[in-house]
Structure 1
Amino acid sequence: MTIDVMLPYYGDVAMMKAAVDSILTQEDRDFRLTIVDDGYPDETLPAYFKSLTDNDDRVRYLRNEKNLGANGNYRKCLGLLEHDYTVIMGADDIMLPNYIATIRKAFLNPEVDIVQPGVEVIDETGVVYEPLGDKVKAYLRRRAVGDAADAVIAGEPIAKSLITGDWLYFPSVAWRSSAITKHSFRQQYDVVQDLALAMDIIMDGGKMMVSDTVCFQYRRHRESDSSVRALDGRRFAEERAFFDECVRDFRKLGWNSAANAAQAHFSSRLHALTLAPKVIQKRMWPGLKKLVTHAVKP
């Protein structure tokens, strides 16, 4: 059961190399690593990528002729899948040595389409820490799955939980390839595309396993793309559009409790309010107006 590890890349070179090293040093070596370079400008990279492919036949490298952006590069990765299971790895995250083995064990359950393993958060320097937002994620996750070591959840309960507060860590999530290619990423989203994909699979009857085995380190940047989009309000405009779609989709399925949670989107509103002091400090007044509007608008 070879697992496709897709690495869409654009960004910090040193962190990307650390991510690649963490993949290549997995205890379970039955995987195929595909790096899809979105045209990052660094003259040292051709030699580095050539050395990877020359020395390890599990590694494949492609460079896009033009920059596709994150969503476009994710969708390109889906067109390159060769095996039944895949992970779309973050180019600045770290697989702990037991990641592939943990994912393989989870997919022994033939009903599972999505696997969320245990994750720890690291900062820019690689130090493990737990910001407030990740404490909230951990709380919501516990409420959804309880104390089970490997819980399988599906249907309206998981949809309601995730729409109340997205506790997934997308780069760590593994997917059944047939499920992810059936739905793909919605082209209109650049921040919530991962949650939208998971929700599409769940609404189609897919099941998720949530494992408590920690096997992945998710890097939390203070000035990540999603953080910048949050401060100027773009993130929340996108989230609101997605929530509105979910309300309609959930109602069609008769998932009225999940639809009410999507309509309320309390955690998203609270997130907007928590960013207000930082926006004021940076004097980003248009962004402040968008944050406040998102927080209070029905």
Structure 2
Amino acid sequence: MTAVQTLDIMLPHYGDTALMQAAVRSVLEQTDPDWRLTVVDDGKEPGVPEWFASLGDDRVRYQRNEQNLGITRNFRKCVELVESTHFAMLGSDDLLLPNYVATMRAAIAAVPGAAIYQPGVEVIDEHGMPSTTLGDEVKKRLYAPKDTGRRLVLSGEPLAANLLGGNWLYFPSIVWRADAVKEISFREDLSVIQDLALIIELIRRGERLVVEPATAFRYRRHSGSLSSSEAVSGARFGEAVRFFQEVAGDLDRHGWPKAARAARRHLSMRLHALTMVPGALRHRQSEAVRTLLRYALTNAR
């Protein structure tokens, strides 16, 4: 195994201060101390700079944007601030388990050169309790590789087709190889599917994905998230369909017809849209219901 540099953990923050503080504490509780946390605050909540100053840990760096950048531009800023060879983009409402840094540094040492490292993930709700959603179960059963207890290395058109059918990765839990991401970064024209766009482009360029079986991350799903609120209104699906149609053409030109077909079908996204219909009905959002059904049943843009 080769030595792995300090792991950069980037935290683009906007929203609930208490959840963000819990995320930071989960970093401080790592069994492997070889990490550096950089928080880029895109909000204006009072007391946050003072709280970070009180931590007294020189591995924690905090800065507040002078003007609100929005989610994707703040992601891009975080990528620019990465100094190490590998980094994670922690969500400010998610949690690292204490073994996260040790687990991910071991995975990088065992399979050097990959661009994407996905650990085992526990899904929790807004109260921190274990949570199971239909979408997570479908992706786990139909798309995610079976858990053999061994590390997997995936790549190429089969992986691209698999993820375009149903993206079973958990973006905030991933460790990325910095040079590969810096060359591409996140697309400014996307707000809720920019992670998949980045991943597919990395795969198209020949990069590998490592699936680490050890559970090391707690991913929070709750109704207040950006993706959830945009899903209820149907807004996220318009962006997703535009992306799938665009990437299908790119993959056809790249000579990956199977992946292109998976993009055009985007079956998991259609199912997701269908599962959001009851929520839109409960909120009496008739226009959202029509929008969601259109995305679920057609190739509507």
Residue range with higher mean Cα deviation, 209-218 or 148-157 = 148-157
Q: Map 1:152-167 onto structure 2 (within 5 A).
A: 152-167=153-168
In the alignment, what sits opposite 2:49?
A: 46
Asked whether 1:34 is paired with 2:38, we answer yes
Partner of 1:20: 24
What whole-Å deviation, never above 9, does each CA across 1:120-143 have from its counterpart, x for those lacking one? Answer: 01111111122221112222454x
Question: By how many angstroms is 1:145 displaced?
Answer: 5.4
In the alignment, structure 2 segments of 5+ residues that lack a partner are none
Q: Give the residue type in structure 2 aligned to 1:245.
A: E
Q: Partners of 2:119 and 2:147 in 1: how far apart? A: 15
Code of the aligned partner of 2:51: Y
2:185 match: 184
Deviates more, 1:115-124 or 1:148-157: 148-157
CA distance in structure 2 between the aligned counterparts of 1:267 and 1:22, rounded to whole angstroms: 31
C-alpha separation between the residues in 2 aligned to 1:172 and 1:202? 18
Number of residue pairs aligned between Structure 1 and Structure 2? 294
Deviation at 1:41, TM superposition (A): 2.9
Q: Alpha-carbon deviation of 1:149? A: 1.5
The answer to whether residue 141 in structure 2 is matched with residue 139 in structure 1 is yes
TM-score when normalising by structure 1: 0.95
2:11 counterpart letter in structure 1: L
Verify the 8 A CA contact 1:154 1:202 in the aligned structure 2.
yes
Higher deviation after alignment, 59-68 or 285-294: 285-294
Structure 2 distance, partners of 1:192, 1:16, is: 22
Distance 2:151 2:31 in 1: 21
Distance 1:249 1:163 in 2: 13
Conservation of the 8 A alpha-carbon contact between 1:140 and 1:161: no
- Residue equivalent to 1:208: 209
**1:101-138: per-residue Cα shift (whole Å, max 9, x none)?**
11101111123110010000111111112222111222
Match of 1:262 in 2: 263
**Which aligned segments of 4 or more residues in structure 1 are displaced greater than 6 angstroms?**
none
Matched residue type, 1:202:
I
Q: How does 1:217-228 map to 2 (within 5 A)?
A: 217-228=218-229
Instruction: Give 2:120's aligned amino acid.
Output: G
Q: What amino acid maps onto 2:222 in structure 1?
A: H
Say if 1:145 and 1:153, in contact at 8 Å, map to a contact too.
no
- Residue 148 (structure 1) shift: 5.4
* SS of corresponding position for 1:163: helix
Please identify, of 285-294 and 60-69, the stretch whose mean Cα deviation from structure 2 is larger: 285-294
Contact 2:49 2:62 in 1 (8 A): no
State the SS of the aligned residue for 2:153. strand
Structure 2 SS opposite 1:247: helix
Amino acid at match of 2:44: P
The one-letter amino acid of 2:273's match is: A
The CA deviation string for residues 232-256 of structure 1, in whole angstroms up to 9 with x for no partner, is 1111000001101110111112111
Q: Residue type of the partner of 1:130?
A: T
Q: Deviations along 1:61-82, whole A, 9 cap, x unmatched?
A: 1110000111110000011010
Kept after mapping to 1: 8 A contact 2:9/2:87:
yes
Q: Is the 8 A contact 1:9 1:36 kept in 2?
A: yes
Q: Residue 107 of structure 2 corresponds to which residue in structure 1?
A: 106
- Cα deviations by residue, 1:206-235 (Å, 9 ceiling, x for unpaired): 000011100000011123211111111111
Question: Aligned letter for 2:9?
Answer: V
State the 1:46 CA deviation: 2.3
SS at match of 2:112: coil
Kept in 2, the 8 Å contact 1:145–1:151? The answer is no
Distance 1:251-1:148 versus aligned 2 partners, 3 A rule: farther
What is the CA distance between 1:58 and its match in structure 2? 0.8
Offset at 1:178?
A: 0.5
Matched residue of 1:216: which SS? strand
Distance in 2 between residues matched to 1:248 and 1:45, nearest whole Å: 45
**Identity over the aligned pairs, expressed in percent?**
47
- Residue identity matched to 2:34: D
2:143–2:166 CA contact under 8 A, matched in 1: no
Is contact 1:164–1:267 with CA below 8 Å preserved after alignment?
A: yes
Which of 115, 128, 131 is 1:129 aligned to? 131
